[in-house]
Amino acid sequence: MKLRFKICSVIYLLPLFFLNAVAFSAPTGFDAITSGSETLHEFTFFLHLKDNAYTPISIEIPPKIGVEFKKEPFPDRGKIFRSVLRIGDGKNPIPFALNASKKTLYLDLNRNLDLTDDPKYSAKPYGMSNYQYFVFRIPLKIDDTSTSYLINTMFYLQRNGFWGFATIHSRWEGLIELYGEKYKFIVADDMDGKIDLKGQDCFFVTPENDPFGEDVIYKLTTNRTRARPDILFLNGHAFRVSAEFAKRDNKPCVKAIFRETQIETEEVQITGQYIKCLYLSGNNLIIQDSPGKEIRIPAGRYLQARIVLGDEKSKLLATGDISLHNFEVARGKPATLTVGAPLKSIADVSQNGRYLQLTYRLVDNNNNDYTLSAREPKQPPRAVIYQGDREIQTGNFEYG
């Protein structure tokens, strides 16, 4: 029996949807610096703390450190594990005790080895008995002010111990404007008491009108070295970025400073079309709206690209997260980047007994994968299977 199938998928491209912007502090102004024949500017912005937000910063939890507490509010029996949370540079860890039998976590926040004068936390429902999940806040003193960060912690219980990790879910962010373009600027701090964007802390930028901004932050900061670029290159302007803790209205904040700099750029040809926003991440971080067929960017190696596709008449967005395998832009040598539309629908087919499994892919001319936005659920990709010229089966692809 001969079967053939076709993929019925109309690839729509559409304009970007605008996010509802959170009200953040406006810049305090900028200073002008004359360099050669150009006037370079320095911009200052203030960022405010936001909770329940993704950051790529985790906290180490060593599983085999035996902490001896002077006082404990529970009998020494059952599954009890003692260790520390190594926040920041690890020089001032927070001791804790996990009473796994009672699903309770005790944090020694004042670090006096007495758990009777500190808060305790009950595990949140998780659905698997060998996992215990806790959410709590850790206070942070900043000069003569103080705040606290939201921490999520997961413990995987084993017979004679545990494996655990913690992630910081508070970050500093604000809506900034540079040369008429608005961006969401984010700083993630590792709780060592200072902001060091060349150390363990990191930052990221997304255009205000990118509806996939949070997804971009996650994809391009999984490898945190990509979140600390030498140069931030935003729509043709090069900046060196620094940040520090500050105080405004008697509340802690982060002051971000964008120092414009002169830098040589090289030509990059783009073979694809309909690119609404291009991210390139590596030695430098490049963000370019509607790049067209040619852009000029600083020389360097770029490891990852994020492509957002759309035009003014379409109903769906497509995005691509592409590993560039050390795409290099060399001095004096034009480079070519093969990304963007046109896209084509293909399917990988495998047989499992009497069933055929079709896996849908949306790819460009360089076989890079893209994902359709879920903004139009009534028109998912559809497969049609034929025997000869007779249609014998149809079905819609589902995400998963």
Element (H, E) at 350: strand 344-352
3-state secondary structure of 222: coil
Is 21 domain-assigned?
Answer: no
- In this predicted structure, what is the pLDDT of residue 184? 92
pTM of the model: 0.80
Looking at the fold, whether 176 and 164 belong to one and the same domain comes out as: no
Structure tokens at 312: 């003014």
- In this predicted structure, what is the pLDDT of residue 374? 57
Is 49 domain-assigned?
Answer: yes
How many other C-beta atoms lie within 10 A of the C-beta of residue 239?
22
Overall number of domains in the chain: 3
pLDDT band at 211 (very low <50, low <70, confident <90, very high): confident
Looking at the fold, whether 158 and 186 belong to one and the same domain comes out as: no
Is 67 domain-assigned?
Answer: yes
Is 15 domain-assigned?
Answer: no
Looking at the fold, whether 126 and 215 belong to one and the same domain comes out as: no
* R_g over Cα of the chain: 26
DSSP per position, 101-137: TTTEEEE-TT-SSBGGGS-EEEPBP-S-TTEEEEEEE
Taking residues 163-181, report their average pLDDT: 93
Is 195 domain-assigned?
Answer: yes
Is 96 domain-assigned?
Answer: yes
Percent above pLDDT 90 for the chain: 45
pLDDT band at 298 (very low <50, low <70, confident <90, very high): very high
> What domain range is 390 assigned to?
3-10+342-396
Could you give the C-alpha distances from 304 to 28, 323, 325, 327, 372, in angstroms and in order? 33, 5, 8, 8, 19
User: Model confidence over 135-161: pLDDT tens digits?
Assistant: 999 998 888 888 999 999 999 988 778
Q: CA nearest 348: which of 330, 338, 362?
A: 362
User: Is the pLDDT score of 5 beyond 50?
Assistant: no
Looking at the fold, whether 178 and 301 belong to one and the same domain comes out as: yes
Looking at the fold, whether 294 and 188 belong to one and the same domain comes out as: yes
First to last CA, the chain: 30
Looking at the fold, whether 124 and 90 belong to one and the same domain comes out as: yes
Looking at the fold, whether 43 and 132 belong to one and the same domain comes out as: no
Q: How far apart are CA 364 and CA 362, in angstroms?
A: 7
User: Is the pLDDT score of 191 beyond 60?
Assistant: yes
Which of 132, 149, 168 terminates a domain? The answer is 168
- In this predicted structure, what is the pLDDT of residue 181? 93
Structure tokens at 35: 């360099």
Looking at the fold, whether 82 and 222 belong to one and the same domain comes out as: no
Which of 117, 137, 168 terminates a domain? The answer is 168
Looking at the fold, whether 139 and 247 belong to one and the same domain comes out as: no
Looking at the fold, whether 186 and 225 belong to one and the same domain comes out as: yes
Is 23 domain-assigned?
Answer: no
Looking at the fold, whether 78 and 95 belong to one and the same domain comes out as: yes
Is 132 domain-assigned?
Answer: yes
Looking at the fold, whether 211 and 294 belong to one and the same domain comes out as: yes
Q: How far apart are CA 43 and CA 332, in angstroms?
A: 31
